[in-house]
Structure 1
Amino acid sequence: MSFSFFKPSRPKTPQELVKAIKDSLIALDTKTVAEVKALEKALEEVEKNLVTMKLMLSGDGEAEPNVDQISQLTLEICKEDVIALFIHKLPILGWEARKNLVHCWSIMLRQMVGSSCCCVQYMENHLELLDFLVVCYDNKDIALNCGNMLRECFKIPSLVKYILESPSFLLFFKFVELPNFDVASDAFSTFKDLLTKHASAVSDFLTAHYNEFFEQYEKLLTSANYVTRRQSLKLLSEFLLEPPNSHIMRRYIVEVRHLRIMMTLLKDSSKNIQISAFHIFKVFVANPNKPREIKVILAKNHERLLALLHNLSVGKGAEDDQFEEEKELIIKEIERVSRLPNLES
């Protein structure tokens, strides 16, 4: 007796799977509100296809994925414009489908096909998709998924360069202060990657857009939100201290407006913010080429600054000795500057 009708169906080839994924995603467009059942079925089909794609890309825990299949799948995804569908349909997909899609995206984006990453090339040829992902931070249902996809993209220098120059970049200054804590935190993680992953691209951007950037960044440093102040201050230290940004640092520490912000943050009610502010403030003071305007501010405020610094401590620990040593040098320099003649404004 034959039991052939119990045999499992033949696994789809990469080409067949991509066609099935594309068809099921396009089918989401053809459903009207009146066809709720049909839409639910289409969404189920998309979810089933994304599970199959995930298994093809990462294996099932027992068998390793087939390298040739991964390459064929990735190539076909690009050739059939399925990446654009993935991104544009994110708002419609269910939670599990979005999760699987993000997982697959992290694998496909770095997948080499021959001598090139075809998914990276696809994104470079469809840069508007990056803008779409950034704007999606305004949709709390998919914000974290889009954030994950963006951070994968921002491992690629050309994609970082595009967003830095795009009007979409300014949206991050809004998104990092969204009332939803999880979304705001995720947006800040993406913002941080933008400013720290590819120093040379960031250096070029800051050189070309110095005033516009720091005008926006000052709003983060002076935000009423404690988390925003603390994170933005820490991030400022990170990207200003990158060697390619040394010319930006030199420009930053000769401007009175920046010094005033650091002095204000030295008085913050949070000790963590005070310590972080000190590590930037000390560069203003230690600069051997301080302009007269900076010296005037330090001299005028030397009593309050010295009082603040004497009370500032990181506590007990390995960093305590170095901090105290640096603090002592800064105190001596402020005292020296306060005694200089002809600093009356």
Structure 2
Amino acid sequence: MTGCMWPCAAAAIATTAPTMGSGAGRKGWWLFRSKVRCPMEVVRHSRDLLRIVFEDRDASSNKEDLKPETKVMVDLRKYIREMKCILYGNGEAEPVTEACTNLTKEFFKENTNTMRLLILCLPYLDSETKKDVTQVIANLQRQKVDSKIIASDYLEVNKDLLDVLVSGYDNMEIAIHYSTILRDCIRHQVAARYVLDSEHMKKFFYYIQLPDFNIASDAFRTFKELLTRHKSSVAEFFSRNYDWFFSEFNSKLLSSPNYIIRRQATQLLGDILQDKSDTLVMICYVCSKENLIIVMNLLREQSKAIQLEAFHVFKLFAANQDKPPEIVGILSANKSKLIRFLANFSLDREDHLFEVDKAKVVAEISTL
């Protein structure tokens, strides 16, 4: 492999990996001066440097080794940037398929744990290198080897890394980076199913309400991705967790004092209930008096955006042909108010489908 030269890698780093054997010792990285030419070498050298960072991260006597300007960190930064260059191209040359494949094979090579080391060492890297790492991992989640995405197989064996990534929301310094990696990982159904079936789902109700707007919004983005991407896994999740989930959803999100949370949650509720794969969930939801009351209160919001999202949920209650008596009772008692509200409820733009839906709701309520 030492004779190969991949596009982009040819302009690579003038330093190579640490030698971990006898003679050089653990600090033997400084002995190497040859130019890196192969994708697999780039990964190997990155991995050796990451091992040094990992070993030094909790050793108080070696904190100096983790400073950005040290040789280990400088070389690691260059190698990670080189991996990114191989996977994405360098602006002048497009990435080469064979180079990307070889890099992917080495990255996910059994028992090497390159991805684990990258994730665990991420808090000790500088901000630009953190961004490079998230881009490298994102790309590798989509790379195919022999028509197979091997990142999915890796995550199936290393599900505990998902625990690490979710816990990143507890650390403001790495929350956005870890969550970005997490969303790329849950592109794979095996990873999404693991998170859905874990206690982490309950934590999201806390993360979404964090005072830091960027982290809270990011947490909601991940939460939505988990509940909408993999239809069959989401349906299984709701079949097992319906009661506690919607109890939390109603009380902490739909009833939140925070406008942004209420708006996002109302939109997500509509997306879930109107998805054909979640029909059973929708039927359960629209048969609940408590749910109807919450949605009707959302219709009274001053925000037209929340009113519109609430309407998309409310129309499901009205359209249900097997309304329980308590639902019929509430709708009948508020019939005149609802019809008057809908008569004045309009959008700032022309929307034929909205008008058709509204007419159907009015007709349904009028017959009660």
Quote the Cα distance in structure 1 between the aligned partners of 2:135 and 2:189.
21
Select the residue among 134, 148, 162 that pairs with 1:130.
Answer: 162
How far off is 1:242 after superposition? Answer: 1.4
Residue type at the aligned position of 2:35: R
Quote the Cα distance in structure 2 between the aligned partners of 1:33 and 1:205.
44
Tell me if 1:103 matches 2:135: yes
1:1-345 alignment to 2 at 5 Å?
Answer: 9-28=34-53, 29-30=55-56, 32-40=59-67, 41=70, 42-79=72-109, 80-218=112-250, 219-315=252-348, 317-319=349-351, 321-337=352-368
Partner-residue secondary structure (3-state), 2:267: helix
How far off is 1:91 after superposition? Answer: 1.6
Gaps of 5+ in 2: 1-13, 15-33
Indicate conservation of the 8 Å contact 1:18/1:77, yes or no: yes
- Of residues 8-17 and 99-108 in structure 1, the stretch that sits farther from structure 2 once superposed is 8-17
How far off is 1:119 after superposition? Answer: 1.9
Indicate conservation of the 8 Å contact 1:266/1:308, yes or no: no
Cα pair distance change 1:14/1:323, threshold 3 Å = closer
Residue type at the aligned position of 2:168: C
Cα pair distance change 1:325/1:244, threshold 3 Å = closer
Quote the Cα distance in structure 1 between the aligned partners of 2:204 and 2:334.
35
- Of residues 322-331 and 51-60 in structure 1, the stretch that sits farther from structure 2 once superposed is 322-331
Quote the Cα distance in structure 2 between the aligned partners of 1:121 and 1:70.
18
Quote the Cα distance in structure 2 between the aligned partners of 1:22 and 1:30.
14
- Of residues 63-72 and 51-60 in structure 1, the stretch that sits farther from structure 2 once superposed is 63-72
Cα pair distance change 1:34/1:209, threshold 3 Å = same
Quote the Cα distance in structure 2 between the aligned partners of 1:286 and 1:110.
41
Quote the Cα distance in structure 1 between the aligned partners of 2:327 and 2:60.
64
How far off is 1:45 after superposition? Answer: 2.5
Partner-residue secondary structure (3-state), 1:116: coil
Partner-residue secondary structure (3-state), 2:56: coil
Quote the Cα distance in structure 2 between the aligned partners of 1:58 and 1:332.
56
Indicate conservation of the 8 Å contact 2:298/2:310, yes or no: yes
Cα RMSD after superposing both structures: 1.8
Gaps of 5+ in 1: 1-7, 338-345
Aligned to 2:5: none
Quote the Cα distance in structure 1 between the aligned partners of 2:120 and 2:162.
11
Aligned to 1:341: none
Residue type at the aligned position of 2:50: L
How far off is 1:33 after superposition? Answer: 4.2
Aligned to 1:5: none
How far off is 1:159 after superposition? Answer: 1.4
Indicate conservation of the 8 Å contact 2:66/2:124, yes or no: no
How far off is 1:85 after superposition? Answer: 0.7
How far off is 1:117 after superposition? Answer: 2.0
- Of residues 183-192 and 57-66 in structure 1, the stretch that sits farther from structure 2 once superposed is 57-66
> Which TM-score applies when normalising by structure 1?
0.89
Residue type at the aligned position of 2:366: E
Quote the Cα distance in structure 2 between the aligned partners of 1:253 and 1:36.
58
How far off is 1:36 after superposition? Answer: 4.5
Quote the Cα distance in structure 2 between the aligned partners of 1:324 and 1:51.
53
Render the CA deviation track for 1:118-172: whole Å, top value 9, x for unaligned.
2221111000111111110121221111222122112212211111101112211
Residue type at the aligned position of 1:65: P
Provide the identity percentage. Answer: 37
Indicate conservation of the 8 Å contact 2:155/2:190, yes or no: no
Indicate conservation of the 8 Å contact 1:176/1:185, yes or no: yes
How many residues are treated as equivalent by the alignment?
A: 328
Indicate conservation of the 8 Å contact 1:25/1:89, yes or no: yes
Quote the Cα distance in structure 2 between the aligned partners of 1:244 and 1:230.
23
Residue type at the aligned position of 2:56: T
